[in-house]
Every structure is written in C-alpha cells, then in structure tokens.
Structure 1
Amino acid sequence: MKFSPFFLLVILCLNCCKTNDWKKESSNPEFLHRSVKLMTDVMVHDIYSPPVASRTYAYINIAGYEAAIHDNPAYRSLAGQAHGLTAFPQPDKNKKYAFQLAAVNAILTVGKTMVLSEGRVDQFKEQILNEFKETGMPDEVFNNSLEFGNQVAQHVIKWSKSDNYKQTRSLPKYTVKDDSASWKPTPPGYMRAVEPHWNKIRTFIIDSAQQFKPTPPFPFSMDKSSPFYHEVLDVYHVVAQATSLQTEIANFWDCNPFKLNINGHVMYASKKISPGGHWINITRLACKRQNADFVRSAEAYARLSITLADAFIGCWHEKYRSKAIRPETVINQYIDQKWAPLLQTPPFPEYTSGHSVISAASAVVLAKLFGNNFAFTDSTETEFKLPPRKFKSFDHAAQEAAISRFYGGIHYMSSIRNGLSEGNEIGLYISQRLNTRSRNTDIAVLK
C-alpha cells in the first residue's frame, strides 16, 4: 500500500507531538513539589524534631537536585562542595532519560530510608510513578530514569551514613543541672532535652558547628537592675498585654511538631509542621509564583535545605553550650507561679532562638534566588486552620518569625536579636560558597 507524502507528513507530525507531550508533561515541576510536600507530611506524621527534619530535607533535596541537573549544563554538582560528598554516578551517554523522574525517584528513595512511615512513601511513589507512565513516556526511558535515580539515591544514602547521626543516637541523654541559670524541663510535658549532641553532626558547608558563635547571653541575675531581669520582665509583660495581632503572629509561626494539649484530666498531642518545613513550603510558594522550572525548583530546595541543616547545627551548638534557662521557668519561680507563655515552651535550652537563626539564614538564601523584594503570601499554615499572611520580602517574614517567639513568651529579646545576626552570617557564608551554577552563569541569569 502506498501513502501520499502529505499523509506521511501528518503521521510524522503526530508522532513528534506525542514525543513532545510526554517530555513536556514529565518536566512539570509539580512532580517535584508534591514529592517534597509528601516528605514534609510524613515527617509531621512521624513527629520529627526540627533538627532531624532539617537533616532529612538536606539529603533528599541534594539527591533530587543531583539527579535533575543533567538536562542543563548551567548547573553544577554539589560534589566536592558539601563536606565528604564525592562525585556522583553519571548517566550513560548512550541511554535516554527523563531526569525529572530520576529526581523524584531519588528523593523518595532517600526519604524512605529516613522516616518511620515507609509505607506512606511507598504508596505515594507508586502513584506518582504511574503518573509519569501516563504521560506516554517510553518504557526504555522510564526504566533508565528509575535506574539512574536509584544510583544517585544510593550515593546519597551512603554519604549520609558517615555524618555521625547514628552515633549520636547512643550518646548519653542530657543531664539537667541544679543551678539557677541552666535549662530545666518545662510544663506541661516536662520532656527531656531534644538532640543535645546535634553539634556532632557533620556540617554541609560551614566549617564547623561553632564557626558562627553569637554574642553570649546576659548572665543570669534576678537583681532588678540587671539586663537579664529586665529581659525576663519584658517577656512577662508582652504575654500579659499581647494584642490580637501579636497573638496571631505567635500562633502563625508556632511550628511545634508535638504540642501537648490539656483538657481537664486529658492530655493529647497535636502535630504541626517544623520551622524548617515552614521555610521549605515558602520555597515551594516562591517557585510556583515565579514559574520556576523543574531544575531551578530543585536548586532552590537544595540550597535552602543545606542552609537549614547547617543553621540548626550551629544553633544547637550554642543552645547546649550556654544552656540558658527559659522564661517560663524563671517567671514561675521568681515572679508569678501561675504565669504561662502563649506558646508551649520547646524542650531544649533557650539561647539562641532557633526560629531567628534558621529564618534569617533562609531569607538570605531565598533572596539570592528570587530577589530582595520578593513579595508573597504565605499560606503554609492554612492546613493547620490558620489564615495566610502577606510579606513584602523574605527578610520581612524572617523578622516576623523571630519576633513571634518573644510574643509567644518563649524567648528573650537578646536571643532573638543575636539569633537573627547568627543566621544572617550563616546564610551569607553559604550563599557565597555554595556554587550551583557554572562559572559563566549567575543565578540571576536563569531567573
């Protein structure tokens, strides 16, 4: 049977369109955003502490980034930049891939090894892989991509096992001291100190946990003329006189992964997103608002996650170095036995404010990616029944996140101010040293 040239041309065009359709559909960054959000949801369900969540975000998003970048020569590998990270496996030049699928597979494969609810990851993975298949992706490309994603994931998993995390699981629990100035467990759960050995975790970009030591906290003193006493009174009064706006701000940035609620004789817990998870979601919102493609979104998650991880390591080093007592403990003992903070006091030392450190660091990194005056609406907390809030910039959001801890009655102002400075220094250091673009390409060029 003979076909006219016109008919053959039509068939050829249809085949080309079909090929382009699966390539276009599989490059949708929503595949990436949904995978990262799934990992957030699993960590919320599994009640991950903020430092542990930050470690998980770093490894999964580095894996996703490294698998995704091979379609674009403008991006550079993190190998040789992050401490202990060696060269990654490379795709076979004779094979065809969908690197977006490889990235999603890498994220979920690494993520599964770092959470308790493995079944939830498996269920989501089965669903999203089927969606990739439904784009019309050829079986050969599908299988090649899964294989490459697995190779990247195994490289990251092996690297993660050398960061001292496993060793810190068997170190001694924190010993509460009897002196007046040191941290004590607080109501209502009087929970033990969270991650007292986190400063032993290998850093990603910063030189060490103690590289960015903040100004020391004010010495403990209940002398009415002392700076410490005045800071305590400031916390006491701000909670007693809190405006509706201050209360709203405190609740919006609470980000307590395990809040204990008391109703009569019944105590129950509610789960919320971690502080790092909140900034991960802000990153997603920024990517979507600027229509960032798959690779650029993967880059944003990786840079932000690395910054979060290092910021938590640095902050936690200071927390267990200074061991500063929380306002709730001081106020209940010396000023008002019945006083309670607006927010539940977290179970670790006060200085410096973790929200302040990680928010300032995150703002620096995101401003480098999306601009200093990037206005956005933060809807992160809507799933926890809180209305969205609008911000003029990432720094604006960071400043509000920091002051929220003062309004909530769980931090002194010096902890917030010095925490912001500490986080800003960490963010600047990482932004200057972490290179995700080729030498002849700048971040601004690909916006």
Structure 2
Amino acid sequence: MKVYSNSIQYGQAVSDSILKWAADDNYLLTRKKRRYSYSKQPGKWTPTPPGYIDAVEPYWSQIRPVSLDSAGQFKPVPPPVFSTDTASAFMKDVKEVYRVTQNMNKEEILIASFWDCNPFYLNTQGHLNFATKKLSPGGHWISIAGQAAEIAKADWPKTTSAYLLTSVALFDGFISCWDEKYRSQLIRPETVINAYVSEKWRPLLQTPPFPEYTSGHSVISTAAAQVLSNIFGNEFPYIDNTEVDYGLPVRHFKSFSDAAQEAAISRLYGGIHYRSAIMNGKLQGENIGNQVIKTIILR
C-alpha cells in the first residue's frame, strides 16, 4: 500500500511540474496576436487554392522550444531570391517542380501520397466545403517510433525514450521551421507556376496554408530520423503501416534515414516545395536532431 501511495504522489508531482513548465511556453500569448497581415511584395506567400485558407500559426516561432536555445538557433541560409528571369536560381527551382510533376511514374505518385500527411484535406463540391481528417506529419513519425519499439521488442524505458525524443525533435523542428517560414515568406510553386508557366497546372497534393521555405516535412522527418537512429541504430529495416488505415499500402525502409529522405523528396513530387526548401530543410532537421540527442540526457 505504501508503494502504491508513494507512486501516486510521485506521478502527481511529475505532472504538476510539467504543467507548471508548460504554462509559460507562450502558447496562450500567441492566441491573442493580431491576424496575420500578408506582404504585397513580389515573391511573397499568399493563400492558395482550393480554400485560400488564412496563414496557419504565423507566430509559432514564439513558442518556447525544449532543446533549442531559441527558434533561430539553426536558421537556414536564405532561399533563392525571387525572380521571373528564366535563368535565375529561383526560376530553375520553379521549372523543376513543373517538369517533375509532369512526368511522374506510379512509384513517385505513391511516395507523394504516402507522405502527404494532410490533417485537413479540403474537399470542394459546388458550394459545399468539408475536410477529410488524416494523420499529420508529426503523427506519422510518432507512429514510426511506436512501430520501431514493437519491432525491437524494446522495454518500457527504451520505448518511452523513443516517444519522448521523437516528440521533442518534432516539437522543436516545427518551431525552427516556422521561424524561417514567416521570415522568408516565400511564395508557393502553385502560385508562381500558375502566374508564369501554366495557368492550368495543379499540384498533386493540396498546397498547405503557410509559406514555402523551408519544407516542414523535410525538417521534422530528418530530425525524428536522427533521434530514432540514435536509439535503435542506423540500420533498422522496418515496414511502415501508418497509412494503411487511409487506403495506402505499407512501405519498406532500410533505415529511418531512408524514410526521412523519401519523406523529403515527396514534397517535390507533390508539387508543393522547391528543391532548395527540401535540401536546406534536411540540413536544418539534422542540426535539430543532433541538438536533441546532445541536450536531453536519458538515464
């Protein structure tokens, strides 16, 4: 009875400490901010079809991170400068998105769909709009952490470590990524291609309602893969069944890094990111993953 009572008291003390710490994470302050004001400068992000949804979480960089010293600790290099010059680095990125999405094979389409992870897919039928809810990018990696623990027959401490470190990598990854998104405010491929390349072009995936640079999935997937590799090993073959409930087949991966690479390039296949956002997002995620491993010491 004494062990039971002490366990309850200890658990309560832990939860009280967590809630006290979380109360100062700035979340409530960000709920009181003014509505996001869009820049009218050329090359800056504006809402996209089909719903032209307002900017999602423009103040998320103000949320207190867990392992980072600030949202801008791993600030990426700036994106290519917006230009309509066909020889510019920016338009080369744009034309690559258009070219790739025009010539995709079945495997590339499946990859884009598997990593879509759109938690708010907007369906439009006449005047009727309704959302189909699916798993988010973060939710997909939490699922992978659980599958890995099951495959490895991990004990309770190792399993909780996998969930904890993956969650922190995702949390800090989104803060770091969103810090850059609303700093650079880069225009999405759909907007540029429709204006300068083809008015009829549409991406395979729905364009998310926030700026383009860097690629969120590239950042958080790489960060999550870093911490999971640190726990379960760099070579960890597994079958990902996360999307089966949403009508997609399982996918086989040789490692978490293999999965993160695929998640990142899926954004190019989906037509929603330029290669610069993907490559620099991966570097950003790698730095975050390493920071989580270095900062959070598990016994």
Please indicate the TM-score interval, normalised by the length of the shorter structure: over 0.9
Q: Which residue matches 2:86?
A: 224
Mapped to 1, the partners of 2:129 and 2:226 lie a distance apart of 39
Mapped to 2, the partners of 1:152 and 1:385 lie a distance apart of 40
Deviations 1:281-313 (A, max 9, x none): 100000000111122211111111111111111
**Which one-letter code corresponds to 1:433 in the other structure?**
T
Mapped to 2, the partners of 1:315 and 1:430 lie a distance apart of 15
Gaps of 5+ in 1: 1-93, 97-140, 438-447
Q: Which residue matches 1:380?
A: 242
Mapped to 1, the partners of 2:135 and 2:7 lie a distance apart of 31
Mapped to 1, the partners of 2:253 and 2:11 lie a distance apart of 37
Mapped to 1, the partners of 2:126 and 2:35 lie a distance apart of 31
Counterpart selection for 2:96 from 208, 218, 234: 234
1:42-441 equivalences in 2 (<5 Å): 95-96=2-3, 141=4, 145-437=7-299
The structure that has the greater radius of gyration is 1
Deviations 1:144-186 (A, max 9, x none): 5445433322221121010100000001121112222100000
Deviations 1:309-336 (A, max 9, x none): 1111111100000000000011111111
Mapped to 2, the partners of 1:410 and 1:242 lie a distance apart of 14
**Which one-letter code corresponds to 2:201 in the other structure?**
W
Which moves more between the two structures, 404-413 or 303-312?
303-312
1:12-31 equivalences in 2 (<5 Å): none
Higher relative contact order (CA 8 A, sep 6+): 2
Q: 1:262 aligns to what SS in structure 2? A: strand
Q: 2:239 aligns to what SS in structure 1? A: strand
**Which one-letter code corresponds to 2:120 in the other structure?**
F
RMSD of aligned residue pairs (Cα, Å): 1.3
Could you tell me the TM-score, scaled by structure 1's length?
0.65
Could you tell me the TM-score, scaled by structure 2's length?
0.97
Mapped to 1, the partners of 2:295 and 2:31 lie a distance apart of 31
Mapped to 2, the partners of 1:195 and 1:268 lie a distance apart of 21
Mapped to 2, the partners of 1:204 and 1:384 lie a distance apart of 32
Q: 1:380 aligns to what SS in structure 2? A: coil
Structure holding more helix per residue: 1
Mapped to 1, the partners of 2:253 and 2:74 lie a distance apart of 28
After TM superposition, the runs of 4+ consecutive aligned structure 1 residues lying more than 3 A away are 143-148, 263-266
**Which one-letter code corresponds to 2:17 in the other structure?**
H
Q: Displacement, 1:95?
A: 2.7
Mapped to 1, the partners of 2:199 and 2:235 lie a distance apart of 45
Aligned pair count?
299
Deviations 1:216-248 (A, max 9, x none): 100001101111111111111211111111110
